[in-house]
Amino acid sequence: MDETRSAHVDSLQQACDTIRDTSPFLEPVIEAFRGIITRRELLKTAIQERPDAVAGLQSRGPSPDGHPRLTRKDIAALVDPWSGTVRSALETLKAFPGIRQEIERTVEALDQGGVDLNACMESLVEGRQDDTAAAAGRIGIPPAAFEFILGQILKPFVEKRTEKLRAHVSDMPWHRGCCPVCGEMPELSFLQGEEGQRRLRCSLCGHDWRFDRMACPYCAEKHADREIISIETEPNRWAEMCPSCRRYIVAADLRAGCPDAIAVAALGMVHLDMIAQARGYAPVAACAWNLVPPPASDVKRNANRTYM
């Protein structure tokens, strides 16, 4: 691992320690995800850059029509279906004992050619849930587990291969709640800089962008009197609820934190996820840690996919 990435992993570990020390009741969540997040950094070192693909995407120029840089097909194509990284990503997921059997069945299906990973990735990112469910049925695992597994395979490839692209779009004007790079929804809203600028962090590629302080990232409605959930002892963390679309997003004031705190900040607010979902709101982006059973009321929660 190169020095920069190694320092990055150390810094992620420290950010996890800070959350655990501040909120000891979150220790099980932090410890479950700490390994996944740091091992993903290791996986990314094994993924080769795709300079040609990124150069091609950059040459598309700015996006005045408000479309994200990557199409759904571009995103699916970022995965090398036969690479060792896919196997390593699956191994990493065994840290979640609840889906070990599902992972083993997926590995078996890949070994025996019983599943076309490329096609499954396309179904996932294009939101064709019936196709993903059919593939899950062939493997013999629940569709939700298969979507989760596919999302986890996809994420390191997208994070690594959009790194250069993210830098390219960072000074581009963008006013939407979805990510300007990959089009996914944000997992976190945070305040940064002296003036407390509001930014959103993408749940898939990790890019962050400036966003209107009052608007809902999901439906763009502005509500001056929207409901905020927070607990007294944690004034720097809260959840913002939208009465129009019944979605919520967790938010943090990160003006005093290290830059890597952004990558793990949402993990430190799982208790707010639970409160928000108990009140019948669904997350703006479904992430591995905010899938709190039972599903939130009548809101169709799987309209967006599951990454972490």
Applying CB under 5 A, the residues found at the interface with Zn ion are: 179, 181-182, 184, 202, 204-205, 207, 216, 218-219, 242, 244-245
Nearer to Zn ion, 174 or 218 (CB): 218
Helices (H), 47-142: 51-58, 72-76, 84-92, 100-111, 117-125, 129-139
Distance from C-alpha of 219 to C-alpha of 243, rounded to nearest angstrom: 10
Nearer to Zn ion, 167 or 219 (CB): 219
Cβ proximity of 120 and 132 under 8 Å? yes
Nearer to Zn ion, 102 or 260 (CB): 260
Cβ proximity of 63 and 180 under 8 Å? yes
Tell the smallest beta-carbon distance from residue 284 to Zn ion (Å).
Answer: 8
Tell the smallest beta-carbon distance from residue 247 to Zn ion (Å).
Answer: 5
Nearer to Zn ion, 139 or 151 (CB): 151
Tell the smallest beta-carbon distance from residue 186 to Zn ion (Å).
Answer: 9
Collect contacts of 91-98 with beta carbons under 8 A, ≥24 apart: 92/35, 92/36, 92/39, 92/40, 92/43, 92/152, 93/36, 93/149, 93/152, 95/32, 95/35, 95/36, 96/32
What token pair was written down for 59?
Answer: 């040459």
Distance from C-alpha of 49 to C-alpha of 78, rounded to nearest angstrom: 10
Nearer to Zn ion, 186 or 268 (CB): 186
Tell the smallest beta-carbon distance from residue 303 to Zn ion (Å).
Answer: 13
Tell the smallest beta-carbon distance from residue 159 to Zn ion (Å).
Answer: 9
Tell the smallest beta-carbon distance from residue 85 to Zn ion (Å).
Answer: 19
Nearer to Zn ion, 32 or 53 (CB): 53
Distance from C-alpha of 278 to C-alpha of 158, rounded to nearest angstrom: 32
Tell the smallest beta-carbon distance from residue 121 to Zn ion (Å).
Answer: 16
3-state secondary structure of 35: helix
Nearer to Zn ion, 79 or 99 (CB): 79
Beta strand pairing call for 247-253 and 237-241: antiparallel
**Which residues make Cβ contacts (< 8 Å) with residue 44, sequence separation at least 6?**
5, 156, 159, 160
Task: Kindly list the distances between the CA atom of residue 125 and the CA atoms of 50, 306, 308, in Å, as whole numbers in the listed order.
Answer: 19, 10, 14
Tell the smallest beta-carbon distance from residue 89 to Zn ion (Å).
Answer: 18
Nearer to Zn ion, 141 or 249 (CB): 249
| Buried residues in 53-73 as b, exposed as e (16+ CB within 10 A) | bbeebeeeeeeeeeebbbebe
Nearer to Zn ion, 96 or 218 (CB): 218
What token pair was written down for 104?
Answer: 């083993």
| Length reported for the chain | 308
Greatest Cα pair distance, the chain, in angstroms, is: 56
Tell the smallest beta-carbon distance from residue 221 to Zn ion (Å).
Answer: 5
